[in-house]
Amino acid sequence: MNKDRISIIIPVYNAEEYLDRCLESVLEQSFTSFEVILVDDGSTDSSPLICDRYSATDPRFRTVHKDNGGVSSARNAGMDLAKGEYMMFLDSDDALLPDALERMMENVVGEDMILGGYATFIGGVPEKEVLPLNTRSYRGGEMALFFDENIRKNCEMLDAPWAKMLRRKAIGNLRFCEDLSYAEDKLFVFNFFSVCTSVHTCSVPVYAYHIRPGSLGSDKVSDRHLIQLRRFLPEYSQALTKLAELYPASDKLRSLYHNDVIGRYICRILNIFLTRRTALLTDDLLSELYAMMDADPRIGVFSIRAGQVFNLLLYRTCSPKAGVRVYKTISSVLSLFRRGNHV
């Protein structure tokens, strides 16, 4: 078997509390033909020392220290150094499940992507598993079937870079966008899909996605994230449009932009209305939002339900002035549903 068949790229930033768990999960793998590239992204805790310790004791590990540039910058630095046939991304606060690499590499014959499932843990407690529909390979014209069989609501299995191996030859010069700090991983994955001609799916959990109890507010969007989200939408739209043109037979791809992107965008903006006030929620932003919905009545109807909106109203509080704006916004959204007979 070829040496270093897999390059495991781990961006590290102030992860001292979880890093040993992550790296030990790699060392315990039954499949051993891998290299690990640890990219210390300017950590200020003991993470650099932990990385150096593993690199000093196992020749398969090597550490790169760099100034802080963000997770995309760290991943790109690792990609530039990778020598394996496949690249795999592992976040420093997550872990590989036992025998993950061996299970993913079984019956692989050079597919551009190997896709496994993942298990979500909250505070160390298992919550759910998200798995591919089956274990098989998809090639050429079967890629449309791959998307239709494996795209879930909000595309939760496909849009993250982890629980995947990507063939280095297929990646070529594709890299993560370092100017984007919101959903940059989603953009990278779907840009890769446009050059990916074959996928092998492995219908078992291979990746442990750990959510810390204190980080459960993933729906909270800062002003900075809102700006980034507005930047992200046209680039993601372009990536999905290209993919839908490549695989016109896929019904799921044609509706994914409306289901996953615009619908989520609208939900987040409504959530901001109902949780806090921000100078970014201007009439200009609302006009942009309405224009996006008016451009296509399908937008949002898959991801926003009337029940969701009213749950937000029931369980969130806001000032009377903000409440008026919320009411007008929700009324406009619901009127779109009524016009499309989706309520």
What pLDDT does residue 305 have?
43
What is the C-alpha separation between 120 and 23, in angstroms, rounded?
A: 18
pLDDT of residue 132: 92
Strand partners of residue 210: 121
- Indicate the pLDDT class of residue 261, thresholds 50, 70 and 90: low
CA-nearest of 262, 112, 102 to 195 is 112
| Residue range 151-169: mean pLDDT, rounded | 83
Whether residue 250 has pLDDT greater than 50 = yes
The DSSP bridge pattern shows strands 6-12 and 34-41 to be parallel
Question: CB–CB of 227/280 below 8 Å?
Answer: yes
CA 59 to chain CA mean position, Å: 30
Q: How confident is the model at residue 118 (pLDDT cuts 50, 70, 90)?
A: very high
Rank 34-48, 115-129, 216-230, 273-287 by mean pLDDT and report only the highest.
34-48
Q: Are 100 and 92 in contact (CB under 8 A)?
A: no
Q: What is the mean pLDDT of the chain?
A: 80
- Per-residue pLDDT of 122-145, as tens digits, reads 888 888 999 999 999 999 989 999
Domains of the chain by start residue, with CATH: 6-215 (3.90.550.10), 223-339 (no CATH)
- 71-75, 123-127, 167-171, 198-202: the lowest-pLDDT one: 123-127
Backbone torsion region of residue 4, taken as left when φ is above 0, otherwise alpha when ψ lies between -120 and 50, otherwise beta: left
**C-alpha distances in Å from residue 45, one per residue of 49, 102, 210, 212, 214:** 9, 33, 20, 19, 19
pTM of the predicted structure, to 2 decimals: 0.80
pLDDT recorded at residue 242: 87
Residue-wise pLDDT for 178-188, tens only, equals 988 778 898 99
User: In the numeric block, which tokens belong to residue 216?
Assistant: 């459960």
Given this model, what pLDDT does residue 77 score?
98
Higher pLDDT: 128 or 287? It is 128
pLDDT one-digit tens code per residue, 30-79: 999 999 999 999 999 999 999 999 999 999 999 999 999 999 999 999 99
Contact status, residue 311 vs residue 304, Cβ threshold 8 Å? no
**DSSP-based three-state secondary structure for 60:** coil
